[in-house]
Every structure is written in structure tokens, then in C-alpha cells.
């Protein structure tokens, strides 16, 4: 079945440093979504990417979808303490269900 | 008020007991899901439903059952709880297969 793998599992950064999490699928995806879960909270949708090579930005967050539509990344520039949480990718192949990656837990030291 | 509401928020139960987790939504979405979250394992799909008459198994349905009582309500049951079902459970809804999912606040279940 479809598998979505996410690395790293944990990332500790100093405030102001950049952060990147990577997502890889075993199959070609029709779209990929990104979610953020704050500590003690629930996953909240950030963005969806659909097109090959697509790049979207939300303030300090940059999301990319690979040319082959099998990988994606989330990059945060100059992290802040408000960025703390777990970031999940979720990929969907045609005819399949949405499958979540394992998540990357980000901690930011002030 | 939350659009997707889960009850209870926390529950401790004994091994062998039957327990039901409830989810209700006011978003008017047809699609509802139950996920389980364990550290390092992400969100794993237990069951999902695309409408009131539709129930489908996810990747980890063994030991669980569900009921879709109405468009707005989707409950998850553990017929005989066991300790390795200790986890954080999330209900979610979506409008369609390619749209964002909206999650409830979660139910933290501990089986002792």
C-alpha cells in the first residue's frame, strides 16, 4: 500500500535558525497536504499542493512539491518560538486515501 | 464552539471494558474519519465513512468498530479494551477526498 515517510522525526533549533522537514511517498501523489499540531493540540491544515514543481509561501513558511510528485518539503526561515509543534505531511494518490507521514517534532530554543 | 467535537476528552478504562468515543460535527461534511496517534507513528486511520450508509476499514481497524448514526455523528467503539490501545484518538471530517481535513480536539484514552 501507499507509504509516506517523513524525516527527520525530531529537530531542535535555536530561535532564528532555519528548519526543513522532508516527505517522501512510495507512489506518485495527486496532492499533498501539510498540517501543524501544537503541543497538546490537534492537527491544523496549513496548505495543499497539487501541481508538479509547485512552490507556495506563507510568510516564513515555504512549501514545495517535487517534479515527480513523490516528495515534498516544508522550510521555515528564521524560526520563532511560535513555530514549535509537530509538522505532518499527508499524501493522496489517485484512488487512494490520504496517508499521513510520521511527523517532524520541532522544538525551538529561545 | 468547535466545529468537530469529541467526547470524552480524557478517559481511563480497565482492560476488557467496552468504551465508546463520540464525535459530532457542525460542518455539514459527509466524510468522517477516526485516527489514532502514537508517538513516532503519526496519524493512522482506523475507520472512515463517506456517508451515513458507508463504513470502511482503515489501516488499523482490528479491535475497533464504528457507527455512523447520522451525517453529523460518528462514534468509535473498543469492544474489549487492551493496554496497547492506549493512545490519542482524533476524529476528522472533510468535504471531499481532495480537500483539507478538520480535526476534533482529540480524546486521550488510557487502558490500564
Q: Please say whether the beta carbons of A25 and A65 come within 8 A.
A: no
Facing residue for B40 by CB, picked from A9, A43, A44:
A9
Facing residue for A97 by CB, picked from B45, B104, B105:
B45
- B55-109 pLDDT, tens digit each: 999 999 999 999 998 999 999 999 999 999 999 999 999 998 788 999 999 999 9
Q: What is the DSSP letter of B59?
A: T
Which site among A43, A48, A99 would you substitute to test the B interface, given the most B Cβ atoms closer than 10 Å to its Cβ? A43
- A11-62 pLDDT, tens digit each: 999 999 999 999 999 999 999 999 999 999 999 999 999 999 999 999 999 9
Amino acid at each position: 500500500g501507499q507509504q509516506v515517510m517523513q524525516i527527520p522525526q525530531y529537530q531542535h533549533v535555536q530561535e532564528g535558525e532555519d528548519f526543513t522537514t522532508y516527505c517522501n511517498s512510495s507512489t506518485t501523489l495527486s496532492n499533498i497536504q501539510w498540517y501543524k499540531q501544537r503541543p497538546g493540540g490537534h492537527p491544523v491544515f496549513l496548505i495543499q499542493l497539487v501541481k508538479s514543481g509547485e512552490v507556495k509561501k506563507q510568510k516564513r513558511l515555504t512549501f514545495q512539491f517535487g517534479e515527480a510528485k513523490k516528495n515534498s518539503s516544508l522550510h521555515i526561515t528564521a524560526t520563532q518560538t511560535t513555530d514549535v509543534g509537530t509538522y505532518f505531511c499527508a499524501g493522496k494518490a489517485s484512488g487512494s486515501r490520504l496517508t499521513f507521514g510520521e511527523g517532524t517534532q520541532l522544538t525551538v530554543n529561545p | 464552539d468547535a466545529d468537530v467535537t469529541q467526547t470524552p476528552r480524557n478517559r481511563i478504562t480497565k482492560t476488557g471494558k467496552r468504551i465508546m468515543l463520540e464525535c459530532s460535527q457542525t460542518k455539514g461534511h459527509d466524510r468522517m474519519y477516526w485516527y489514532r496517534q502514537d508517538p513516532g507513528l503519526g496519524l493512522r486511520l482506523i475507520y472512515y465513512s463517506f456517508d451515513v450508509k458507508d463504513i470502511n476499514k482503515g489501516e488499523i481497524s482490528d479491535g475497533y468498530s464504528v457507527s455512523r448514526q447520522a451525517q453529523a455523528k460518528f462514534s468509535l467503539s473498543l469492544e474489549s479494551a487492551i493496554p496497547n490501545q492506549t493512545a490519542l484518538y482524533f476524529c476528522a471530517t472533510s468535504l471531499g477526498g481532495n480537500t483539507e481535513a478538520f480535526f476534533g480536539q482529540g480524546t486521550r484514552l488510557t487502558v490500564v
